[in-house]
Structure 1
């Protein structure tokens, strides 16, 4: 009998071993819960719900009180204590749950409605509001915030899988804060039920549990608006080599920001540099190699042309900045750009008439692009110094250029719809290399 029981136990272990030996997230058989930090350091919050709800002590799980739908509560934290409608309560952490969970109903926090349940944690710095919600219900709000709900179904599905994978990869980002993910761009923008859209919800449901894996773990799955023709290698943007983030050709020509331009004066450049701690004085020149075709760019650019470093030369100092620093300082859409000096021309000239007279003639010639002076390096773009001179940034794409280009995904999905050949997995395999696309719950 003992041998028989031992055999049964061994068989049970062998059956379940494949499930428990994989990454923990792969052991899930339904959408896992995630904790989203909505607000931190709050001194007061409004609470309500569109269905009957209960307040409970999060530490003891005892119900504090039950409330009818649409009852409004005001919770304040002061003098190291929580107050509920001006009455002190003993609980340090409060839970908020619907009395009968309903997918169509929500809990309202500060006039925004959210699925799932809530926890309010009090600390010295104030209250932290945490939304506990199923991962896929969280994505109902995230996906339409990242991609228009009117776009093709396969593009929305690709976005849903990328957002789900990104969330699973990032689960421990805010572990020290007591939750998994925040509700801002630091993780993914999450604003609750109001942001939800029908087609995005369908895309999330159609791809339920599907993620991108590398070495059996969720990948870091960034995405961006548009690449400007080519996505980027991870090490050329953030310095870390990831085998699944490789540069690929991107058909995003229909994107509004496939090509963009920003004109700025030398004085504005000086002021913006000084504002971030780089007082270079009067701008004399900018050092940057010309933007070339992919594979032909100089050492200060990536192979696709995104800027690694560039220098601003003033009469007091020279500052060398990374492409990302330049993008942030001057609010550029991407780091794949070139610059040119646009010099105004005189609007009138004097024409001699004989030996003693001249006539003033108005002209309407357009500004012209200043050609590089003969210098020690062809990369030096000198400032001419004429009144009205501008520096024109001419760039491509919007975003960091890593992973999926959303406008490129849109173009691929539209082709699939016409050709009846291809789906969201083809989109993902184009932008993320050497991955496994797998349903894990």
Structure 2
């Protein structure tokens, strides 16, 4: 009996130890980890208030060809194939403006180019009409006739278009058509369209689902805006053979209407097939014939795995790429991190990206995510590398979880030394998104230093270190004097090459400059922006804030900071900038693009603290009473120059200005919440594995697998 009792106690002890071990090391149950086989990525769509990136046309090709069809509730119905390497275009059959029509291609091309220059969605198409090839310039994919009418008025008001079209008067086109009975095939439909064109009608080949192995071809005549206009088309069509049998096209069922499109080639002898789709709830399916990816011209000629779906959403064409979820991550990791980074950093990114996408669900109604950094960047197969594929495969199915749910695994390029609390970025606290110290200086490795210098003309800017030589000389105040060593050296506003921002000046070899400071080239860890004038700042601020600031702008201050030191409130002239959430301050204060982060200081260049007799102090804001100074040589003069150079007790020299201006000196790149990518790089270089990295940046998470 004693032996049985001892065995029973031993067994209970073993079970207890196993339970305790499971508590220590176990993951949530398999059922707690969501699974996603296919992900839908929106490349183009209009979703008001959330995402707006649209295209008038989408052009596809694949080395082995494409299969075109429609997606139905029970699967994809295949209609026809496009041969390998051939480009095929798609657009919505909606309201448009026919701006011009001519038998002369060069004339039509000139109109089309002018519309493009005016940011119009212009197509240059051709058809057989009145015994000739006629070139038509159509513009727009408008949701309503009213929108098309407004566009028609806009184009008519352009003097150059008026000159190019001569006496031609633009007309609207709409999605109402007459349609023939099904024909034997595409060739017969082309011949029938020509016969209707012979009597002066616009006629097009149309494709529909035949519920058989092959698509059904027919002819659609006219592109009317109203039923009354369609009746006029009907009367004219009755003069052609078979015209009396035309019926109003059923707009409820999916169809593709074919036009010959010269937009891409800009040549009369070369055209693509442009298919305009319509029909209630139409979803056009595009898949590769072979295993090669599909190239989409309008997305920087990138190629994508999986298939595409085209549909209409809020009056605009939506372009969705659907592909296996894990293969989607191959590209995301390759865009969000450098593929050359250590494997453990890439694996941390793979788990974070997988977790983020699963957390979002169908975040964009008909898509899980979009392909920009609004979700996470996805650039197709061109961003895949063996290292990124391995990182995804090695962590297949793994996600970060907190309290039994997949976390919103946010990440940014650099935390700037300290990641952000979610509350100081968006106003709401998240328990696993708390600030931690982040080793982000890895982004500075190998970068040049830049000197902020004063030119003989008094202009101030940055020059890269390899373009300057030491002279061994100093000013009377002890500031170093250096010498430019290359003719045409560009003096830049910020310590980095930014070709989109005009240079401050150029300097030739031998020019001597006074050094104010030395900084590492602006990067994800540390950066400089400005100085900007009060008017520049006031313009960008008032374009974004809910309550405008009355000018002129005199002061701009960080009035409140969050847990990580990031600005959560800014005052201008003592008035709080009214933004929806703190991270909006980046775009609100960005003169030439958003500021990299909200972890910054503002230098008011005209603001000077003065110490007077009896230790009295006052602050000069730039346009107050004059200030007199004692120079290094002991001479007393009024500080009337545009720049005033002030040295503190530690011999740090600062360039102040007579008139107000504002500089931003900051660290970090992005919102700063969650995983810091450069921090992950540093931790991986120190030998930490991906699970440690994830748990370092996401508080109290577990790594679970399907």
Alpha-carbon shift at residue 347 of structure 1 (Å): 12
Cα distance in 2 for partners of 1:410, 1:215 equals: 27
Contact 1:288 1:310 survives alignment (8 Å):
yes
Question: 202-211 or 122-131, which moves further after superposition?
Answer: 122-131
SS in 2 for 1:61: strand
Cα distance in 2 for partners of 1:340, 1:88 equals: 55
Q: Deviations over 1:173-229 (max 9, x none)?
A: 112xx2221112221122211222222122112111111111222100111111121
TM-score normalised over the length of structure 1: 0.75
Aligned ranges 1:11-90 → 2 under 5 Å:
21-22=31-32, 25=34, 28=35, 32-40=37-45, 42-59=55-72, 61-79=76-94, 80=175, 82-84=256-258, 85=273
Q: Which has the higher contact order (CA 8 A, sep 6+)?
A: 1
Show the counterpart of 1:332: 595
Q: In structure 2, do the counterparts of structure 1 residues 126 and 340 end up closer, same or farther at CA, with 3 Å as the change threshold? A: closer
530, 537, 543: which is aligned to 1:275? 543
Alpha-carbon shift at residue 385 of structure 1 (Å): 7.8
Cα distance in 1 for partners of 2:379, 2:669 equals: 23
Aligned ranges 1:296-307 → 2 under 5 Å:
300-307=560-567
Cα distance in 1 for partners of 2:586, 2:76 equals: 49
User: Please, which runs of 5 or more residues in structure 2 have no aligned partner?
Assistant: 1-28, 46-53, 95-174, 176-254, 259-272, 444-522, 607-621, 650-655
Contact 2:42 2:321 survives alignment (8 Å):
yes
TM-score normalised over the length of structure 2: 0.49
Q: Deviations over 1:375-419 (max 9, x none)?
A: xxxxxxxxx9823x4323221211212101111111101110xxx
Alpha-carbon shift at residue 87 of structure 1 (Å): 6.7
Cα distance in 2 for partners of 1:390, 1:90 equals: 55
Which has the larger Rg? Answer: 2
Alpha-carbon shift at residue 51 of structure 1 (Å): 2.2
345, 361, 366: which is aligned to 1:155? 345
Q: In structure 2, do the counterparts of structure 1 residues 260 and 86 end up closer, same or farther at CA, with 3 Å as the change threshold? A: closer
Cα distance in 1 for partners of 2:375, 2:694 equals: 20
Show the counterpart of 2:616: none
RMSD, aligned CA: 3.4
Alpha-carbon shift at residue 365 of structure 1 (Å): 8.9
Show the counterpart of 2:358: 168
SS in 2 for 1:309: strand
SS in 1 for 2:39: strand
**2:378 is aligned with 1:190:** yes
Q: In structure 2, do the counterparts of structure 1 residues 239 and 123 end up closer, same or farther at CA, with 3 Å as the change threshold? A: closer
Show the counterpart of 1:128: 318
Q: In structure 2, do the counterparts of structure 1 residues 254 and 45 end up closer, same or farther at CA, with 3 Å as the change threshold? A: closer
Q: In structure 2, do the counterparts of structure 1 residues 62 and 271 end up closer, same or farther at CA, with 3 Å as the change threshold? A: closer
Show the counterpart of 1:394: 665
Alpha-carbon shift at residue 320 of structure 1 (Å): 3.1
Alpha-carbon shift at residue 56 of structure 1 (Å): 2.1
Cα distance in 1 for partners of 2:56, 2:81 equals: 23
Q: Deviations over 1:86-133 (max 9, x none)?
A: 577787322122345x3xx11223243210112122457243221110
Q: In structure 2, do the counterparts of structure 1 residues 334 and 352 end up closer, same or farther at CA, with 3 Å as the change threshold? A: closer
Q: Deviations over 1:66-96 (max 9, x none)?
A: 3432233233322446324357778732212
Show the counterpart of 2:524: 257
Cα distance in 1 for partners of 2:425, 2:681 equals: 24
SS in 1 for 2:357: helix
Alpha-carbon shift at residue 348 of structure 1 (Å): 12
106, 110, 116: which is aligned to 2:293? 106
User: Please, which runs of 5 or more residues in structure 1 have no aligned partner?
Assistant: 1-17, 290-299, 372-383, 417-421
Cα distance in 2 for partners of 1:369, 1:392 equals: 18
Q: In structure 2, do the counterparts of structure 1 residues 42 and 310 end up closer, same or farther at CA, with 3 Å as the change threshold? A: closer
Q: In structure 2, do the counterparts of structure 1 residues 113 and 253 end up closer, same or farther at CA, with 3 Å as the change threshold? A: closer
SS in 1 for 2:567: coil
**2:392 is aligned with 1:218:** no
Alpha-carbon shift at residue 366 of structure 1 (Å): 6.0
Q: In structure 2, do the counterparts of structure 1 residues 62 and 165 end up closer, same or farther at CA, with 3 Å as the change threshold? A: same
SS in 1 for 2:664: strand
SS in 2 for 1:283: coil
Cα distance in 2 for partners of 1:88, 1:264 equals: 48
Contact 2:61 2:88 survives alignment (8 Å):
yes
Q: In structure 2, do the counterparts of structure 1 residues 367 and 391 end up closer, same or farther at CA, with 3 Å as the change threshold? A: farther
**2:689 is aligned with 1:423:** yes
SS in 2 for 1:97: strand
Aligned ranges 1:223-262 → 2 under 5 Å:
223-255=411-443, 256-262=523-529
- For this pair of structures, how many residues does the alignment match? 375
Cα distance in 1 for partners of 2:329, 2:312 equals: 27
